[in-house]
């Protein structure tokens, strides 16, 4: 499933020398040295921006996939679409916030099963009846879900959901393993449910609503959204964007939901989304479809909070609001156990370690 948006006047990125954006000189050289040494492997794109200042933009060539289907080596550039994988989830969170601002979807505290009344048998379970939309937004439904397996394994819960006759029933009918709201369990099923509520409330497909509500106001003119065999766009992992366009979404969040004076998503929604709701168990926290943490840099007197969308293979959108900093990485290390290493090193050892002015 693909789409295009009519282009609106959008000021271009302003390429600047790294030191003009508060970084130590030689940022590009340090990134190149990391790639040449083999410490930064599999990268397809790295972009670093502060506000509208683009301090670094690099593209490389490497093998890639389209939602799990190998497409061979690709020479990436500014116009290349790339799988976001689970960074899609964070963007779906923004779309839910926009729909909520418009009064088209129930609030997070609303009962989840009341919003999908076609499953009365599930609603009859007293524990499931306590599930709220907020539990889905924070991945605290307390239902069994296994995405620790490779996404090539049909037993992976997201893959099994995509093969199911009814993805919402599949997600809601998993065995109960924890009290709602008490335990974080990473789940593409949660985002599938949120995507279904957006489509139901807006009366449009997820890509159509995204085009009008988010992409067009940001001047995003090209995207694709992979769909399951039922034709429904995957809210968990299906979006494809250009690196600069993902960066635009990041700067929208940094701008507290407005761009060029135009309000796109409410500041209230963003504040709630970037507020820790539950610990993930590995030193991070989770908000409403965003990973949250803190980081230090030589320019900081205290650790600064960050938010991020994480995607299989090394896809990242890192945001540090206090430093007006947005970083995008695209990579092709799909299903690799160490896929997190390169984007994390870019963030910590290239970007933050060379930030001289907060």
Question: What is the pLDDT, as a whole number, of residue 1?
Answer: 53
Q: What is the pLDDT of residue 187?
A: 98
Tens of pLDDT, residue by residue over 314-344, are: 999 999 999 999 999 999 999 999 999 999 9
Supply the mean pLDDT for the chain: 95
DSSP state of 267: H
pLDDT over 90 at 218, yes or no: yes
User: pTM for the full model?
Assistant: 0.96
Phi/psi of residue 64, nearest 5 degrees: -140, 175
pLDDT band at 10 (very low <50, low <70, confident <90, very high): low
pLDDT at 6 over 70: no
Listed in sequence order, the residues at least 6 apart from 150 whose beta carbon sits closer than 8 Å to its beta carbon are: 156, 335
> Picking from 84-93, 206-215, 257-266, which range would have the lowest pLDDT averaged per residue?
257-266
Average pLDDT value for residue range 252-263: 92
Q: pLDDT at position 229, please?
A: 87
**What is the SS3 assignment for 290-302?**
CEEEEECCCCCCC
Q: Which residues contact 143 (CB under 8 A, 6 or more apart)?
A: 171, 172, 174, 175, 176, 177, 185, 187, 189
Which residue, among 235, 269, 253, 242, has the nearest Cα to 308 in the 3D structure?
253
Dist CA 158 CA 333 (whole Å): 19
pLDDT at 9 over 60: no
Q: Strand pairing partners for 285?
A: 279, 292
Q: Is the pLDDT of residue 298 over 90?
A: no
Q: Are 190 and 148 in contact (CB under 8 A)?
A: no
Residue 4 has pLDDT above 60, yes or no: no
């Amino acid at each position: 499933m693909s789409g295009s948006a009519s282009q609106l006047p959008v000021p271009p990125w302003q390429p600047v020398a790294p030191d003009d954006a508060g970084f130590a000189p030689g940022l590009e050289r340090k990134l190149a040295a990391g790639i040449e040494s083999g410490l930064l492997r599999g990268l397809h794109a790295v972009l670093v921006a502060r506000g509208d200042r683009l301090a670094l933009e690099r593209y490389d060539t490497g093998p890639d996939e389209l939602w799990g289907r190998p497409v061979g080596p690709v020479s990436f550039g500014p116009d290349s679409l790339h799988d976001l994988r689970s960074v899609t989830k964070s963007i779906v969170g923004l779309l839910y916030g926009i729909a909520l601002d418009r009064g088209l979807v129930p609030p997070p505290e609303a009962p989840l099963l009341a919003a999908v009344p076609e499953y009365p048998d599930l609603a009859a379970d007293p524990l499931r009846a306590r599930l709220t939309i907020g539990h889905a937004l924070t991945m605290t439904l307390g239902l069994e879900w296994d995405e620790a397996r490779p996404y090539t394994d049909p037993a992976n819960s997201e893959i099994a959901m995509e093969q199911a006759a009814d993805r919402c029933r599949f997600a809601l009918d998993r065995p109960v393993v924890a009290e709602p709201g008490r335990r974080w369990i990473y789940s593409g099923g949660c985002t599938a449910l949120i995507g279904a509520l957006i489509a139901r409330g807006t009366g449009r497909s997820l890509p159509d609503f995204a085009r009008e509500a988010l992409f067009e106001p940001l001047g995003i003119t090209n995207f694709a959204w992979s769909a399951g065999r039922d034709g429904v766009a995957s809210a968990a992992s299906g979006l494809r964007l250009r690196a600069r366009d993902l960066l635009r979404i990041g700067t929208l969040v940094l701008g507290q939901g407005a761009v060029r004076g135009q309000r796109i998503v409410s500041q209230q929604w963003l504040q709630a989304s970037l507020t820790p709701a539950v610990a993930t168990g590995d030193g991070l926290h989770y908000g409403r479809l965003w990973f949250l943490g803190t980081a230090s840099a030589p320019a900081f007197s205290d650790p600064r909070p960050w938010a991020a969308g994480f995607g299989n293979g090394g896809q990242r959108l890192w945001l540090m609001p206090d430093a007006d900093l947005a970083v995008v990485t695209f990579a092709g290390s799909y299903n690799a156990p160490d896929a997190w290493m390169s984007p994390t090193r870019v963030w910590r050892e290239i970007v933050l370690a060379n930030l001289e002015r907060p």
